[in-house]
Amino acid sequence: MLDIRQANQRGRAEHGWLSSRHTFSFAHYHDPKQNGFSDLLVINDDRVAPAQGFGKHPHRDMEIFSYVLEGALEHKDTMGTGSVIVPGDVQLMSAGTGVAHSEYNHSKSEPVHFLQIWIAPVEKGTAPRYQQRHFSADEKRGVLRLVMSPEGTDGSLALQQDARVYAGLFDGAETARLELASDRYAYIHVARGSVTVNGVELGEGDGARVRGEEALSFAQGRDAEVLVFDLRNIETSALWA
């Protein structure tokens, strides 16, 4: 079953320099029916004005990753990491015992559009760490490319949870199929464009909780960019408490 979360149902935050859409409860937006799904707790769709951003702030015990769709995002943290994240990059910060970071639009003239996503870790109190890797458009074209996994399989980033994250680009006749184990959930997020999943059309910003499906089939994409999360079959992680 696909339980659709339409883009226009998401929470909204407008701060002038920041326009954000919250798939799940976050900050001042709270919906008791939208407190994450399994270990996936946050999907924020953020657009940040030129030369603006999030000042230095702390995190702990969370797997936090950024996925840039347009523009460039500048990251600095208390582990000594400094980087600029562009489309195709996947950045993962494991906050562990505690880390502070800042995120700014690297450009003084163009906006940046990115997703920030939080996944609960399997264990609290681990050492903080940072990973980043570029996945080219060719690697994601017409397939679901593994970008995160517990073991860092096939060049993916190593995620501290029993979850796997796939990214794919679909247009025209391109199709892909992802098999799901019988004891797994999944979540689909359409970052841009539109695509049909198991015959259901999803547009930009739409998402879907997936329960009881043996596979996910992607087809009829129109400039679509998709993230798929293969998750434990729990409703909301106890680590969120």
Contacts of 30 (CB under 8 A, 6+ apart): none
CA distance 1 to 149: 24
Residue 151, marked binder: no
**Residue 59 marked in a binding site:** yes
* The pair of three-digit structure tokens given for residue 225, joined into one six-digit string: 């960019």
Per DSSP, 8 falls in state G
- Exposed e or buried b per residue across 22-32, where buried means at least 16 C-beta atoms within 10 angstroms of its C-beta: bbbbbeebeee
For 239, list phi and psi in degrees, rounded to 5.
-70, -15
Q: Has 101 been labeled as part of a binding site?
A: yes
Is 57 known to sit in a ligand binding site?
yes
Which ranges constitute the DSSP H helices of 55-154? 137-140
- Per-residue H/E/C for 23-73: CCCECCECCCCCCCEECEEEEEEEEECCCCEEEEEEECCCEEEEEEEECCE
Annotated binding site: which residue ranges? 57, 59, 101, 103
Annotated binding site for Fe cation: which residue ranges? 57, 59, 101, 103
